[in-house]
Amino acid sequence: MHLTPDQQAILDGARGPFLAKCLRWLVEWGDAMGARRLVPVTNTHALVTVPGNLVAHAGEKSLEATMELLREACRHPVCCLSTSHITFAHEEQYDEIEMPPEQVAAQQEIEGMAADAGFLMLYTCAPYLVGNVPVKGEVCAWTESSAVVYANSILGARTTRHGTESAIAAALTGWVPEFGVVLDENRRATLQIDVSAPLRSSADWGALGYFTGQAAGLEVPVLAGTPRPSQDDAKQLCAALASGGGVSLCHIAGVTPEAPTLEAALGGRPPEHRITFGPDELLATYAKLRNHTGEEIDTVILGCPHASLQEVAHIARFLKGRRLAEGVTLWVCMAYPTRAVAERLGFARWISDAGGYLFVDTCPTNSMRVRANRIVTSGFKQAHYARGMIGAEVIVDSLEKCLEAALAGRWNEAG
Ligand code: F3S
């Protein structure tokens, strides 16, 4: 890889051993991926926090190793807008989820250090809802695969799928290796998905995303024939694209900023592959993400990815004056700023009066590993991961059907 004199100096230790290590990570990763140079990055979204599973599943050695990395990182100021992915829990929730003391101590230490270094600790998997909205063409370094797809496909920004180390290295050095969807030539769609299924809910967009993610492999897909998605539809689509497969970018003809037409998405060439997403594929994709052996449910998870204010308001209006069925736990997950507004506007009270939890900064499965036997969720990503991470049976359905199940204590397929 060609390095500029400035980059070579950092690699040689001119700004200290930790930044030299950061630059080496980026160079070695870039070399492995065929990058020829490092390019400036102006926006990062990193997992700066301590994921709970490091403690729960790997023991203290991993926690200490992670803490050492973060302590080193936070001694250096960030050089661009840098926000943070989910954490283990918000401090108000430490007792409620019986957070281990060593985890509490680690998280509190990191929070102070990270703020000093300039990280904006948003603690969300949907940073584009609460203040981190990159512009078209902006080179980013984001963790969280669903947010990566959203940034590339809906906002027209450019980010490969980062891990904690590379995103932190990018935040501190201001560089990323140029490969993958950062380059024009890798953003052209080669797989055309002809959509003829009716998309009546955000969950239907999730089904389309899951189907497309599974079909795409390493190709860039383009969706043809869809209506214009809402922000919440797009959120579900992008999360499912990233969990059904390894997609980083999916064009929606007429919606993705650089794809005003199908022809533009395909770069003026015919697609290399073409498949249909019709009513049968829609039903089959829902069926694939349902592994339940009965219809009684004990858990409902909404807000995967983290809920928008509009979703929270919708949930609140649905639940106002009603009560969840006995034995049902409803998690509505969101970023802290979203809950703050929901509290100000009265929506939070309607949800909690009905018996639901507004859970902030974290994720019931990915981070907290809640206990559940049978979950109903509107998120295909949640449905994909919940069975493996917490061993629960899962049913995926629209937001309204999930809420009806929460009130009835059972999921009604026909309802
Ligand atoms: Fe966010 Fe957890 Fe879903 S991290 S995208 S709520 S699986």
**Domain range list for the chain:** 5-184, 188-288, 299-408
Same fold, 5-184 and 299-408: yes
pLDDT tens across 257-277, in order? 999 999 999 999 999 999 999
pLDDT over 90 percentage in the chain: 79
What is Dmax (Cα atoms) for the chain?
A: 66
Cβ of 338 less than 6 Å from ligand 1: no
* Phi and psi torsions of 143, nearest 5°: -90, 175
Please state which of the four CATH numbers 2.102.10.10, 3.20.20.100, 3.30.499.10, 2.40.40.20 is assigned to the domain occupying 5-184.
Answer: 3.30.499.10
Burial of residue 388 (CB within 10 Å: 0-12, 13-18, 19+) is exposed
pLDDT tens profile 29-41:
999 999 999 999 9
CA of 284 to the centre of ligand 1 (A): 23
Q: At residue 366, what is the residue type?
A: N
Closest C-alpha to ligand 1, atom 5: 305
Q: Summarize pLDDT for 85-141 with one digit per residue, the tens.
A: 888 777 777 777 777 777 788 888 888 899 999 999 999 999 999 999 999 999 999
Cα gap 174→395, rounded to integer Å: 42
Q: Which atom of ligand 1 is nearest to the CA of 86?
A: 4
- Ligand 1 contact via 382 beta carbon (within 6 Å): yes
Ligand 1 binding pocket mutation candidate from 122, 124, 146 (most atoms within 8 A of CB): 146
pLDDT at 2 over 90: yes
Q: What does CATH list as the number for 299-408?
A: 3.30.499.10
State the pairing for strand pair 175-177/38-40: antiparallel
Cut 0.85: pTM above it: yes
Buried b (16+ CB within 10 A) or exposed e, 188-226: bbbbbbebebebebbbbbbbbbbbbbbbbeebbbbbbeb
C-alpha of residue 59 to centroid of ligand 1, in Å: 23
How many angstroms separate the alpha carbon of residue 336 from the centre of ligand 1?
14
Q: Give the position, in ligand 1's atom list, of the atom nearest the Cα of 303.
A: 6
Q: For residue 376, give both structure tokens.
A: 């109903």
Beta carbon of 312 within 6 Å of any ligand 1 atom: no
Q: Which of 49, 53, 363, 378 best tests ligand 1's pocket when mutated (most atoms within 8 Å of CB)?
A: 363
For 277-307, the pLDDT digits (tens) are 999 999 999 999 999 999 999 999 999 999 9
* 271 Cβ neighbours under 8 A, 6+ residues apart: 189, 190, 191, 192, 222
